[in-house]
């Protein structure tokens, strides 16, 4: 809510660092990245040196993209807090009519559509009684936790797929086990996504496996 997010930075936010959909998206991203490396491995020609190069590349790439994704996450959080701060100031400085329009625009459409003008006016009046907001939007603890979660999810999602190559000396069975693990993880990601979105979990799980394969193919075809 605008009334809580635009108070002093010391106010505790109830928003979790990463919601379940965000977590699943980061896992899917990490899986697709590592599969572009394991999928490009030629088991007929690869020796231990080739496998080692693939492992270093997969881990390094996911670490780099995890850092980039975490930075982008922080930039998004900063932009969102700045937008909320601007809205809060505009509500406090504008006329009652303008303030009610701004409040309605800041709320989800389904919520704004059922609020009466008197309810919006009550919200506006309470906002004007809040302490003066900070001069600038600042990143808060939840934002840094979310960025750390993004980094860890992208990076750690690499390991289940590459572990067979670490413990199995023969690249052929290692690749087969790795593919089975990747398919299982893609299915579980889709299954969880289906449950969260009210879709049939098994159908979404199978669809996620197909989608993952298509995305990996596109990435490899484009030189990713």
Cα distances (angstroms) measured from residue 180 to each of 136, 144, 156, 176, 219: 49, 34, 18, 6, 20
| 79 within some domain | yes
* Number of domains into which the chain is organized: 1
For residues 141 and 13, give the distance between their C-alpha atoms in angstroms, rounded to a whole number.
Answer: 9
Token digits of residue 49: 């040196």
The residues, ordered by sequence, that sit 6+ positions from 91 with a Cβ below 8 Å of its Cβ are 2, 99, 102, 103, 124, 127, 128
Q: Tell me if 87 is assigned to some domain.
A: yes
**Residue at 49 is within a domain:** yes
132 vs 85: which has the higher pLDDT: 85
Query: How far apart are the C-alpha atoms of 25 and 37, rounded to whole Å?
Result: 19
173 within some domain: no
In a domain, 190, yes or no: no
The residue range of the domain holding 77 is: 20-163
Q: In the predicted model, what is the mean pLDDT of residues 202-207? A: 94
pTM of the model: 0.73
Work out the average pLDDT over 75-91.
Answer: 88
In a domain, 41, yes or no: yes
pLDDT in tens, 151-169: 988 888 888 988 888 888 8
User: Does pLDDT of 213 surpass 50?
Assistant: yes
- 216 within some domain: no
Q: Which residue, among 77, 67, 71, has the nearest Cα to 152 in the 3D structure?
A: 67
Contact 194, 205 (CB under 8 A): yes
Confidence band (pLDDT; 50, 70, 90) for 42? low
Q: What is the mean pLDDT of residues 76-92?
A: 87
d(CA 59, CA 27): 14
Check: CB of residue 9 under 8 Å from CB of residue 133: no
Tracing tokens 């992208």 back to the chain, one arrives at: 154
Q: Is residue 127 part of a domain?
A: yes
What is the full DSSP assignment across the chain?
-HHHHTS-TTSPP-S-SS-HHHHHHHHHHHHHHHHHHHTT--TTT--HHHHHHHHHHHHHHHHHHHHHHHHHHHHHHHHHHHHHHHHHHHHHHS-HHHHHHHHHHHS-HHHHTT--HHHHHHHHHHHHTSPPPPSS----HHHHHHHHHHHHHHHHTTHHHHHHHHH-S-HHHHHHHHHHHHHHHHHHHHHHHHHHHTS-HHHHHHHHHHHHHHHHHHHHHTT-
Average pLDDT taken over every residue of the chain:
82
């Amino acid at each position: 809510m605008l009334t809580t997010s635009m108070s002093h930075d010391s106010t505790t936010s109830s928003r979790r660092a990463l919601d379940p959909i965000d977590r699943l998206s980061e896992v899917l991203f990490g899986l697709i990245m590592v599969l572009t490396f394991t999928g490009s491995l030629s088991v007929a020609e690869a020796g231990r040196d080739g496998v080692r190069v693939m492992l270093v590349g997969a881990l390094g790439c996911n670490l780099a993209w995890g850092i980039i994704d975490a930075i982008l996450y922080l930039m998004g959080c900063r932009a969102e807090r700045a937008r909320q701060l601007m809205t809060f100031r505009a509500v406090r400085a504008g006329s009652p009519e303008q303030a009610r329009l701004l409040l309605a625009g800041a709320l989800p459409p389904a919520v704004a559509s059922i609020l009466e003008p008197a309810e919006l006016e009550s919200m506006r009046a309470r906002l004007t009684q809040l302490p003066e907001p900070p001069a600038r939007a600042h990143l808060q603890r939840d934002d840094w936790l979310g960025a750390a979660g993004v980094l860890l999810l992208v990076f750690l999602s690499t390991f289940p797929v590459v572990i067979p190559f670490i413990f199995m000396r023969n690249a052929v069975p290692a690749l087969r086990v790795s593919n089975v693990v990747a398919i299982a993880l893609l299915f579980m990601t889709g299954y969880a996504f289906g449950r969260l979105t009210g879709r049939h979990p098994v159908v979404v799980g199978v669809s996620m496996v197909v989608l993952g394969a298509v995305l990996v193919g596109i990435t490899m075809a484009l030189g990713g």
